[in-house]
A and B are shown apart, each in its own frame.
Chain A
Amino acid sequence: MSRLSKKSPSVCTDMPLDNTDICSKLHLLKQILTSCFGPTGRLKQVHNNIGGHVVTTSASSVLLSSVSSSQPFINLIKTSILNHVSRFSDCGLFAAVLCLSLIEQIKKSALRESVAIRVNNYLLALCTSYLQREDCGCRVKLDFCSTQNLITLARSVISSKPACVLTEPETLHISKLAVQAFLLTVPCSSPGIVSFGRIVTVPVEGHSVLSSEVLPGLLVEMPDGLSEEDKPLNPLSVVLFSASLAGDISELGDGVIEAHPDVDTDSQILGQLLELGRQVINDEVKLFMCQKVIHPVLQQYLRSHGVIVVERLGIALMEPLTQLTGAQPVATLHTTIPPKTYGKARDLCIKHFGSKTMLHLFPLGESAICTMILCHRNQTMLNELKSKSEVPETASVLMCSQTEYLLGVELFCCALESAARALEHDGGSSLIDLTHAHRWMLPADAIKETMEESLGFCGCGLVQSSPSKKWTYLNTKYSDFCPSPVFKDTRVQPRVLDSFTAKLSALQVAVETANLALDVKYIIQDMN
């Protein structure tokens, strides 16, 4: 009877946005995220009270998912932003900072929530229609004939994450690799609907970032007892098993098994496996791979006949391997293997990366599969780099449907301005010029007279400072003006590029989340 406990009453919060506790938590979250934003953003270390892994990051995906709150209101906003990040893997901090500033500004303005929601919707519709217009000054048409813009895009993403601790040449190297890998996954000669190939990332710890590279084909774990000498003739015939070859009988299901003392089931099964091995050798297979475990006796038997055996591939490598070799996975052990399930590989060789030794498989013909070796000096930085190097891939895939990019954050409107201001952390101030409405950065130690010189280029690198220009501080009042388009000088390339689709969606998600948060009038927490 002691288990019968009374249900505890729910905790109710009326008008959460009038609650000082929630407001201060929102403000704190905004401060945390704002300080992480942009290429000069500050890092955060997250560690929990029961010990465990310490995470150093400034990426919204890692930060938001590792910070948990007891307040459901905060979690609502968090989930919404994380959902966006899971789709676009970019612009998460922008969305979060914009959303939180919107909520804060509306709170300050004392506008009724329902009115504020309508105003937000109206302004959002204005912004999206402006951004989608052909003559919108924020967009850059992407030229696929040159890789310059692609590299710029990749670099904007990678350089925005200081936790990777990369020097300028290292950033450029990784950006180039990301673009190279992406281009390798685009199939050359397939008519109809283009389906992209795969990039398999192999992290290597303890090496210089500059030794990272992109290889066509796949890398698999090095099998035991293979030396450089025994290289078979190419091309090699490949067989790929998806069922376990360990001789277990777990897959037979439920039922009664009667064991006769005079029948040795184990040796019978082993005999069957060896029969399989004999067929493979007769069919002149040179590479024998299995997703699961292979019985040691079978392995030994195959090796003694000059077959390279790779086991425990794991499910993740199965699909790239079937695409690379054209082999079909086999799961039947008692029938002859159909000849069409065999695949082919052009060649293989042994590669050393630091402590790792791996087997490199080359495709026979054209293949959209490639491997990216990412090296870094320590594990934390490597993890951050790994998570970030996948971003340009996603971004590139997304933008193929819409070949336009958004220039850096240079929109106006109060909350948007504060998002733009959040890019500066070194105590400097943000300026906006009154001709093109681009954003400029003023270092903290600059004096008024030398302003023109200390500014140099604007944030995106399209506009150069000149004495005729007028500036004003962001977040101050200035008279309305219509930003004039920048004179198109083909020699000047923008320095920062964002993915247009991701940015636009982030803008919409931020406003919608803010509206949703403003619409919540009552919170009931069930404590049972």
Chain B
Amino acid sequence: MPPLGHLHMEHVLQAVGVLEAVILRSFGPEGGQVLFTRDTGQAMLSRSGTRILTALHLEHPLARMVVECVWKHSSATGDGSKTFILLLASLLRLIHAAASKESNVSHSYSSTKAAEASTARHLADKLLAFGLKELDELIATGVVPYGGCISWEDFTVEAQTPSLTNNLCVQKLLRSFFHTRCGYTHCDFSSHLTCELLSHWKFKNQLPSFSLQLVSDYFPALHTPVSGFPVRSSRLIEGQVIHRDFATPPLKTDHQPVKAVVLTGSMQPTLLSTGDVILHFSSWMESSLQGIIAKLQTLGVCVLLSAVKQSAAVLALATQAEMCLVECVSEDELSLFSQLTTGSLALSVISKTGINAVLYVHVAFQDSEERITIKPYSLTEETAYRSIAIQPIQKCVLKPGCVLSAGGLFELLLHYALLQHGHSSSVSPDLNIDASVSQLLANALLSVPQKIYSHSPHHFLDLHCCREGDKLSKVSELDLGLESVSCKYQLLLAVLQCVASLLKVDAVLPTHTALHTQSRRLTRTSWEGTEDEGED
């Protein structure tokens, strides 16, 4: 690195190349998982691009900038972070090649680097302008005719008639999502389970977005991780599972419905007021507790859900009053419980559910709306992805949008559309620059399906063929699921923006506050160390 920290194309390429090397391992049908461990013993297993990138401790400012761009994009669309990096790397390489060719011809040797950088910058700006102006129209004419359409209405209708093809569409959309997140093995199973879960979460007089938001907000409370079982034993359970056992003997009465009370604090008064004799205080405290319990009893309450631990006296008194008490229930679960029971009073049946050795409290609700708790069993930490699964459905399904077979079809179709556009525009000489730009973008796009099919070239050929003739039929044989076109469009724009902003940076100024003076040299060596390791 030069002392002033001048940035050249090579540095940008190098930084992005390191990220690409990590991402490639988990990309496409042959991709696997990345295992992260901390010294604290925490481990994370993931195929999700965003999680991998954000978990890396990056020192290089450019790499951090890229990760920030990816993060912004994926929080907006919930998908496409791995393709982002691949497209970015391939675009940068092509721009670099084009720029170095041009600058070699037209400039003297001494300023090659500077000329190269300015050509590259210029090219990136043109790419971005082209993307903002022409791309949506190109996609509309060149890609959308090959796709299908799904909307939330289709999805909700499907619950009554599961045989409809639209249900399959949503399931396929989820399938490709799970495929890129947790691998081939369980993607069918997980997408089916998620579909079933979502179709059971319906509220009367509420927008579909409300129930989707609720599921994604309360996912930790709705999800019971059970280790030690095969993934295939995951299933849905109707009602809510509270992840605690009863602190008192479980309910014996068969009277239904049951009234429950949610406690957020300790029932036992703890503050001594000055002047109290200790003995008087504790006897007053006990009698006040007895009063509370008796009052609850006259109200017909027989279940107490408490957010905190209650004293031994409370436990004993509740047992004697034949009430059952669940202690230390998490905030999330309590708020979900009250959310589900408002409007229809606290009417519920409570039983002890044994998920083999672990005992939980199971609440079944007695009203027309069905609520279901997802309860995936899992080997290790794998279940964590399911929480993020909700987001893309929200994005894609809520707005009626076009979907396309996954597996590089979008990139390929757009590649041809761009080439065609280039040919037609090159006829008129004033748009000549435009042609070279669309050519460059077309080549960059082609790198994505190339990476997907790097192990099976004949599938790549299949993909080429299917474009010509019978459109989707061939691709559906590959059965890779579906992906949203609008997400892809946003992805392309985000990549072009990122390229433009990356190339605008020409120097890194390492500033040091007094704090960092000592560690400065360390910073640089350790960063170079990471680079080397990444490239191995």
- A249–B315 alpha-carbon span in the complex (Å): 18
- A87–B34 alpha-carbon span in the complex (Å): 27
CB-based contact B31/A76 at 8 Å: no
Within 8 A of A (CB), among B19-40: 21-22, 25-26, 29-39
The residue in chain A whose Cβ has the minimal distance to the Cβ of B40 is A526
- A351–B229 alpha-carbon span in the complex (Å): 42
What 0/1 pattern do residues 187 to 224 of A give for CB contact below 8 A with B?
Answer: 00000000000000000000000000000000000000
Contacts of B39 in A (CB 8 A): 526-528
User: Given the interface contacts A330-B316, A331-B317, A334-B287, does A508 sit within 8 Å of B230 by beta carbon?
Assistant: yes
Within 8 A of A (CB), among B311-329: 311-313, 315-317, 319-320
- A264–B467 alpha-carbon span in the complex (Å): 95
Within 8 A of A (CB), among B167-224: 183-185
Within 8 A of B (CB), among A53-86: 72-73, 75-76, 79-80, 83-86
CB-based contact A265/B279 at 8 Å: yes
Q: How far is the CB of B480 from chain A (nearest CB, A)?
A: 13
CB-based contact A509/B230 at 8 Å: yes
State how many residues of chain B have any CB contact under 8 Å with chain A: 75
Partner of B270 from A4, A87, A252, A519 at Cβ < 8 Å: A252
Q: How far is the CB of A400 from chain B (nearest CB, A)?
A: 13
Q: Is A46 positioned at the interface, with any CB of B under 8 Å from its CB?
A: no
User: Given the interface contacts A7-B57, A332-B317, A509-B379, does A117 sit within 8 Å of B230 by beta carbon?
Assistant: no
CB-based contact B31/A87 at 8 Å: no
Q: Is A516 positioned at the interface, with any CB of B under 8 Å from its CB?
A: yes
Contacts of A338 in B (CB 8 A): 320
Q: Is A6 positioned at the interface, with any CB of B under 8 Å from its CB?
A: yes
Q: Is B56 positioned at the interface, with any CB of A under 8 Å from its CB?
A: yes
CB-based contact B286/A333 at 8 Å: yes
Q: How far is the CB of A396 from chain B (nearest CB, A)?
A: 14
Contacts of A4 in B (CB 8 A): 515, 519
State how many residues of chain A have any CB contact under 8 Å with chain B: 79
Partner of A519 from B33, B231, B268, B316 at Cβ < 8 Å: B33
CB-based contact A505/B227 at 8 Å: no
CB-based contact B230/A519 at 8 Å: no
- A519–B38 alpha-carbon span in the complex (Å): 20
Within 8 A of B (CB), among A23-68: none
What 0/1 pattern do residues 3 to 28 of B give for CB contact below 8 A with A?
Answer: 00000000000000000011001100
Q: How far is the CB of A35 from chain B (nearest CB, A)?
A: 25
Within 8 A of B (CB), among A111-161: 112-114, 117-118, 121
- A268–B282 alpha-carbon span in the complex (Å): 12
Stretch with Cβ within 8 A of B (4 or more), from A255-263, A353-361, A476-484: A255-263
CB-based contact B57/A10 at 8 Å: yes
Q: Is B274 positioned at the interface, with any CB of A under 8 Å from its CB?
A: yes
Q: How far is the CB of B308 from chain A (nearest CB, A)?
A: 12
CB-based contact B43/A75 at 8 Å: yes
Q: A9-B530, A521-B33 are in contact. List 8 more A-B contacts (CB 8 A).
A: A6-B522, A10-B57, A12-B536, A80-B380, A249-B278, A249-B282, A341-B320, A525-B36
Nearest 8 pairs of A and B residues by beta carbon: A253-B270, A255-B272, A521-B32, A331-B316, A83-B228, A87-B228, A334-B283, A508-B230
- B-to-A contact residues, CB < 8 Å: 21-22, 25-26, 29-39, 43, 45, 55-57, 59, 183-185, 227-232, 249, 268, 270-275, 277-279, 281-283, 285-287, 289-290, 311-313, 315-317, 319-320, 356-357, 379-380, 382, 455, 515, 518-519, 522-523, 526-527, 529-530, 533-534, 536
- Sample of 14 A–B contacts (CB below 8 Å): A1-B515, A9-B533, A80-B379, A83-B227, A86-B227, A114-B32, A117-B183, A252-B282, A331-B312, A505-B229, A509-B230, A512-B379, A519-B183, A528-B38
